[in-house]
Structure 1
Amino acid sequence: MNPVESVVAQIQGLSGSASDLSALHNYLKQVDEALHSESTQLIPFLDQLDPSKHSLGYLYFLEACTSGPVTKEQAGVFVLTIARFISSCAAEQIRLAPDKFTAVCKRFKDQVLLLDAPLRGVAPMLTAVRKLQLSTEHLTTLHPEFLILCLLAKSYKIGFSILEDAIFEVDQPRDIFLYCYYGGMICIGHKHFQKALELLHNVVTSPMSTINAIAVEAYKKYILVSLIHNGQFSTNLPKYASSAAQRNLKNLCLPYIDLAHCYNDGKVTELEVYVQANREKFEIESNLGLVKQVVSSMYKRNIQRLTQTYLTLSLQDIANTVQLNSPKEAEMHVLQMIQDGEIYATINQKDGMVRFLEDPEQYKTCQMIERIDSSIQRIMWLSKKLTAMDEHMSCDPLYLAKAGRERQRFDFDDFDTVPQKFNI
């Protein structure tokens, strides 16, 4: 019997019970190197395996098949094969070899990009994420791969759906950086700026021993989104940010820091001049679109300031004050802000006057009460979760050993320097 046929026979015979799958997994580990040496001959044997019943064996064959260089023609075939496998495979089997499954899915992503068809990979990759996850709280290595496909395919709504999960378990530290960075970009594309700020903030303040490129790019977008959404930006990072971030991020993002300072001055003309002078840099770093939104948002911020001073104002006065070209342009800005709920006002078309109103929300409707109750329930759930995590950490032997070493070093090694540290 051909060696590969022998492997196929073992897969077909040991894909039933959990004990059989354990024996099969051990066997496949032993023949994995041999499968890779025969990688170009394995494709015909895939037809002898059922991806829903023989998922573990099919995965080993598929990983070996795709391990070498793939041409564009081959990619067209592999994309269909892998997509079908992801759709039909048994989650309990592929979780026995998560590294193999991850490798196959990453190659799948590379192949749909080779075909210049990222949209073809979005749905299968989402299925792959869900099958690999132990729970919705689990961040897998495939999350960033899924989000980058959504970004390239401009499928922001589908990408946003996975960002609503509360994450508490992470496979690799790098995954959280990429997940939050790509997730922030998805939210920007979907105009969910508050969620984008939250995710980008997580990147910037995550623990890091040295500064990394992901954090630098996230900080640039964090500055821009802060200006667009909040109309302001503070250069002071929170105390829980790493010392590496505290020391380096500002210096590595000076053009964006200067842009924020220029924005805070409130002068549109000066901001436009600065943007034009640095246009090439913003464009090279793929942030020009956000920068343009920053400029546009300044008009809105200046109009919002007028609501704090005036009860009524003509469209001509608004145009003059915020440096718009015409009353018509001022009217368009005011209408858009009313529609977005950023201001409360009415426009008298006859005499061109704008009347600014108070916020009509009384916080007593059924919808608002349900919203408040939902927020309270979520906060209570988060509190219980954090308490459980704190209790688990306080009993973890590795944490206790490290904490003990740190305390011993402080109590004895640095004893002589304590008075100087605290100016005693």
Structure 2
Amino acid sequence: MDAVEKLVAQIQGLSGSVGDLNQLHLFLKQAEDSLRHNSSRLAPFLHQLDPSVHSLGYLYLLDAYTHSVSRDGANEVVLLVARFISSCLAEQIQLAQHKFISVCKRFKDHLIVLEAPMRGVAPMLTAIRKIRPSSEHLTTLHPDFLLLCILAKCYKSGLSVLEDDVFEVDQPRDLFLYCYYGGMICIGLKKFEKALELLRNVVTAPMSTLNAIAVEAYKKYILVSLIHHGQFNTHFPKYTSTVVQRSIKNLTQVYLELVNSYSNGNIAELETFVQVNKDRFEGDNNLGLVKQVVSSIYKRNIQRLTQTYLTLSLQDIANTVQLNSPKEAEMHVLQMIQDGHIYATINQKDGMVRFLEEPEQYKTCEMIEHIDSSIQRIMALSKKLASVDEQISCDPLYLAKVGKERQRFDFDDFDSVPQRFNI
């Protein structure tokens, strides 16, 4: 019996109790070099193990086997890993989380090579749920899952994890990618308010050096702000890292110029600017969003009319906002009414539009329930923040750092976000 056969026998015999699993884990760690050396002949041994019973041992063999698989073997690996993720025991794989994460990341890479991201959406979501301690924990697999959702255009599946409140993060880069990919998913679903929240989190997150993810997020943040609000505020929140405030505008100058062109309200000028810089926007994979920005200027100009007029003909609207015909103006107005961007009625007989005040009186049962739900969520968040603040205040590392800084700084000079959070 060679070393691998002996190890498989140990896996089969020591996968029952917690004590046996701890002993098996020691054997598996000692056998890592041997498994890696014999990676090309591990496939038959994997078939001798049941991933729903021998999860820990199967994981070690699977990790070694998938470490150097060629493109030709990618499909087999995808099938093996998907089956393993579906049936493995969470309590066993959590003993070797780093192995499980490595296998899942290779799984994602193979799916991208095969151009079959859809096959990984459900398994990766299952992997996240098996490995995370709670729904408040952001794992390093979250960004990979969201990337697969984007590539597969399976946005609603991605939204399922974006609805979770996150308080624990394994690595700073995971948070940047999670928020960036999450913003892209919300853009795909036209959930622009949520997209802005996620993209803003990327830009304003503490960082000691400017990273490429934040720059790309800022570009999309500008475009979505124009689409959704019809304007963009170039001022950063006070808690934004100094490095972002100092450098990011220089790297996104063409987008800030787009804001200026948009603010003028001249459609012809905006279209000319976009055409001149088309290659730049296309190179950033933002041309589709830029086109939505151009389309949204009609909505913005119509909204301006509601602040000045009570009634207006469709012909006057078409002339004022530079649309081709009254029919085109009617389609824009109807869409804006449906989306809740304006309140108006259209008289089909004489082609007149009457602009109305917002009908919501904030006294319906649905609105009261919505307000109550928001209050309860804020209370829960406040309680969580108080708990985190208490934990940090008792942390020996934090207390030691504060003790050193006390000698050099006056606490009144500190920003509202302590520098200890810089990453």
* TM-score higher than 0.5: yes
Q: Distance in 2 between matches of 1:403 and 1:186?
A: 40
Where 1:354 maps in the other structure, the secondary structure is strand
Q: Distance in 2 between matches of 1:352 and 1:161?
A: 44
Q: Distance in 1 between matches of 2:7 and 2:339?
A: 62
What amino acid is the match of 1:205?
T
What amino acid is the match of 2:10?
Q
Shift of 1:385: 0.4
List aligned pairs for 1:130-279, cutoff 5 A.
130-279=129-278
Where 2:265 maps in the other structure, the secondary structure is coil
Q: Which residue matches 2:35?
A: 35
CA offsets per residue over residues 153-201 of structure 1, 9 Å max, x none? 0001111111000000101111000000000000000111001000000
Q: Distance in 2 between matches of 1:367 and 1:333?
A: 29
Shift of 1:269: 1.7
Q: Distance in 1 between matches of 2:160 and 2:292?
A: 24
| Greater mean alpha carbon deviation, residues 9-18 or residues 191-200 | 9-18
Q: Which residue matches 1:340?
A: 339
What amino acid is the match of 1:268?
I
Q: Which residue matches 1:419?
A: none
Q: Which residue matches 2:11?
A: 11
Where 2:409 maps in the other structure, the secondary structure is helix
CA offsets per residue over residues 303-345 of structure 1, 9 Å max, x none? 0111111111000100111111111110110010011111111
Q: Distance in 1 between matches of 2:339 and 2:245?
A: 35
Shift of 1:259: 0.5
Q: Distance in 2 between matches of 1:405 and 1:321?
A: 64
Shift of 1:50: 0.8
CA offsets per residue over residues 69-104 of structure 1, 9 Å max, x none? 422x31111111110000000011111111100000
Where 2:214 maps in the other structure, the secondary structure is helix
Q: Which residue matches 2:128?
A: 129
CA offsets per residue over residues 207-242 of structure 1, 9 Å max, x none? 111111100000000000111111111111111111
What amino acid is the match of 1:59?
L
Alpha-carbon RMSD across the aligned residues, in angstroms, is 1.1
Q: TM-score, normalised by structure 1?
A: 0.96
CA offsets per residue over residues 388-413 of structure 1, 9 Å max, x none? 000000001111111111112237xx
Q: Distance in 2 between matches of 1:352 and 1:214?
A: 48
Q: Which residue matches 2:279?
A: 280
Q: Distance in 2 between matches of 1:385 and 1:175?
A: 22
Q: Which residue matches 1:54?
A: 54
List aligned pairs for 1:313-392, cutoff 5 A.
313-392=312-391
Q: Distance in 2 between matches of 1:69 and 1:93?
A: 25
CA offsets per residue over residues 274-321 of structure 1, 9 Å max, x none? 111111110111000100111111110110111111111000100111
CA offsets per residue over residues 127-174 of structure 1, 9 Å max, x none? 011111100000000000000000000001111111000000101111
Q: Distance in 2 between matches of 1:360 and 1:70?
A: 62
Matched, 1:80 2:85: no
Q: Distance in 2 between matches of 1:399 and 1:259?
A: 44
Q: Which residue matches 1:422?
A: none
Q: Distance in 2 between matches of 1:116 and 1:20?
A: 41
How many aligned residue pairs are there? 411
Shift of 1:42: 0.5
What amino acid is the match of 2:196?
L
Shift of 1:379: 0.4
Q: Distance in 2 between matches of 1:289 and 1:187?
A: 15
Shift of 1:48: 1.1
Q: Which residue matches 2:417?
A: none
Shift of 1:38: 0.3
CA offsets per residue over residues 333-384 of structure 1, 9 Å max, x none? 0010011111111111111110111111111111111111110100000000
Matched, 1:23 2:23: yes
Shift of 1:263: 1.2
Q: Which residue matches 1:67?
A: 67
Where 1:409 maps in the other structure, the secondary structure is coil
Q: Which runs of 5+ in 2 are unaligned?
A: 414-423
Q: Distance in 2 between matches of 1:400 and 1:379?
A: 29
Where 1:15 maps in the other structure, the secondary structure is coil
Where 1:208 maps in the other structure, the secondary structure is coil
Where 1:313 maps in the other structure, the secondary structure is strand
CA offsets per residue over residues 25-67 of structure 1, 9 Å max, x none? 1111111111000000111001111101110000000000000
Where 1:48 maps in the other structure, the secondary structure is coil
Shift of 1:24: 1.1
What amino acid is the match of 2:194?
K
Where 1:346 maps in the other structure, the secondary structure is strand
Shift of 1:206: 0.8
Where 1:377 maps in the other structure, the secondary structure is helix
Q: Distance in 1 between matches of 2:206 and 2:375?
A: 29
Where 1:364 maps in the other structure, the secondary structure is coil
What amino acid is the match of 1:2?
D
CA offsets per residue over residues 238-262 of structure 1, 9 Å max, x none? 1111111011100000000010111
Q: Distance in 2 between matches of 1:113 and 1:272?
A: 35
Where 2:95 maps in the other structure, the secondary structure is coil
What amino acid is the match of 1:303?
I
Q: Distance in 2 between matches of 1:270 and 1:260?
A: 12
Q: Distance in 1 between matches of 2:229 and 2:140?
A: 32
Shift of 1:273: 1.2
What amino acid is the match of 2:343?
Y
Q: Distance in 2 between matches of 1:53 and 1:149?
A: 29
Q: Distance in 1 between matches of 2:229 and 2:163?
A: 22
Where 2:345 maps in the other structure, the secondary structure is strand
State the 4+ residue runs in structure 1 displaced beyond 3 angstroms: none
